Structure 1
């Protein structure tokens, strides 16, 4: 099995990207204002400006899909055209590649409570035994997203405890 290395992805502060996208859309609207009837469409220069303005507005609208919010103790895994692009672990408002698919991974502390099991000790006294397992998925963040379909169920079956803190 190929070992998957987690890498941080390219991200921009969401507020700075929002200002840039608004500026691009405003410039595109300003260039495309000739479509409303303020200019003569027969002029080739104005016609190309109008088309360029429409293109800028479309680019700004597509770029809006790249905004995301990462909460504390969460990570986001980005996959572009089936290839792993990177992860965002820093909480905040970010802008990333709008064409990448984004999958949220919880890094919060999770609890697994086992059922009560009745056993007898050496003298024959009945004892009820139960276990509470507290676990984090920080080590398996990327692996749990790209390789395993149902990661919590995998740990519930006990298979995840064979690694002793290492990824296979």
Structure 2
């Protein structure tokens, strides 16, 4: 397997002076000596002109001579190479890719919309130029495939217990790391280095979004009720203990049950309670 190799070309400024001198000698020879052989010198200088090129910072040129890979120029500047070299420009800059939102099914079959944000750059110019047909399109297609595979590996959410299973919503750090590993493995064939990959958009699909919202609201209400009841029980227990310790009133089991019932209604009710004042005895 051929790997990327760095090519160190000749400085373009030196060769520019050389071409200028050849043209000067050729023209002067024809004028002074009327010798057509000096036209070959001018022709040589003209043939050398296409060999000039420049490389911008974080850019590169892949050099190929009649199908034979001759290396990659990564140094920035003005250079000259064999004019018969084919030169393919490949950028080494970091790039952002924000994928389209794709509809897929999560691990439990719920349709969801998911999108990925990918930061990548070319590391191996040989692979990018020759191992795949179009490395930019390759990044898009493989990113889409990786997102679909990731979404099918995790449920969107877990309503029973958030700690029992890793989900797309609750385990973003672990999910993003898994996405980055998956993309790195897929894009390595094209010489692409994944700098960062993360989920940029995540939501239920429109056909189940409203139902799932109601389910989330119900789960939140149940959790809140659980806390309210738990707190109310503690308050009732504390009230009975204080009454008993301070000997404010002596209650039998039936009256304790009635007091507990009344306190639980007051503490757990959604609306304000209107108290009823008993002006009679405890038995009425």
TM-score by length of 1: 0.75
The answer to whether structure 1 residue 143 and structure 2 residue 127 are counterparts is yes
Higher alpha-carbon Rg: 2
**1:131 aligned residue:** 116
Q: Does 1:63 align with 2:61?
A: no
* Compared CA separation, residues 54 and 10, structure 1 to 2 (3 A): farther
With over 3 angstroms needed to count, the CA separation of the structure-2 counterparts of 1:9 and 1:29, relative to structure 1, is: same
Q: State the shift of 1:89 in Å.
A: 0.6
For the pair 1:156 / 2:156, whether they are aligned, the reply is no
Please report how far the alpha carbon of residue 12 of structure 1 lies from its aligned counterpart in structure 2 after TM superposition.
Answer: 1.2
Deviations, residues 107-142 of structure 1 (Å, cap 9, x unaligned): 111111123367999xxxx98643211001123x11
**Deviation at residue 64 of structure 1 after TM alignment:** 0.6
For residues 132 and 30 of structure 1, the distance between their equivalents in structure 2, rounded to whole angstroms, comes to: 62
User: What corresponds to 2:87 in structure 1?
Assistant: 102
On the 8 A contact 2:127/2:189 being kept in 1, the answer is no
**More helix, by proportion:** 2
Q: Contact 2:131/2:189 (CA < 8 Å) preserved in 1?
A: no
- The structure where strand makes up a greater share of residues is 1
CA RMSD of aligned residues (A): 2.8
Deviation at 1:6, TM superposition (A): 1.8
Compared CA separation, residues 102 and 23, structure 1 to 2 (3 A): same
Q: 1:82 aligns with which of 67, 70, 74?
A: 67
Larger RCO (alpha carbons 8 Å, 6+ apart): 1
Paired residues in the alignment total 148
Q: Is 2:131–2:190's contact at 8 Å kept on the other side of the alignment?
A: no
Residues 1:145 and 1:119: Cα distance change in structure 2 (over 3 Å) = closer
> How far, CA to CA, are the matches of 1:119 and 1:103 in structure 2?
38
State how far apart, in whole Å, the 2-side matches of 1:91 and 1:166 are. 26
2:11 counterpart residue number = 13
Q: Aligned partners of 1:119 and 1:166: how far apart in 2?
A: 26
Q: Residue 119 and residue 84 in structure 1: after superposition, are their counterparts in 2 closer, same or farther (change >3 A)?
A: closer
Distance of aligned partners of 1:28 and 1:118 in 2 relative to their CA distance in 1, 3 Å threshold: closer
Structure 1: unaligned runs, 5 residues or longer: 42-49
The CA distance in 1 between the partners of 2:136 and 2:189, in whole Å, is 17
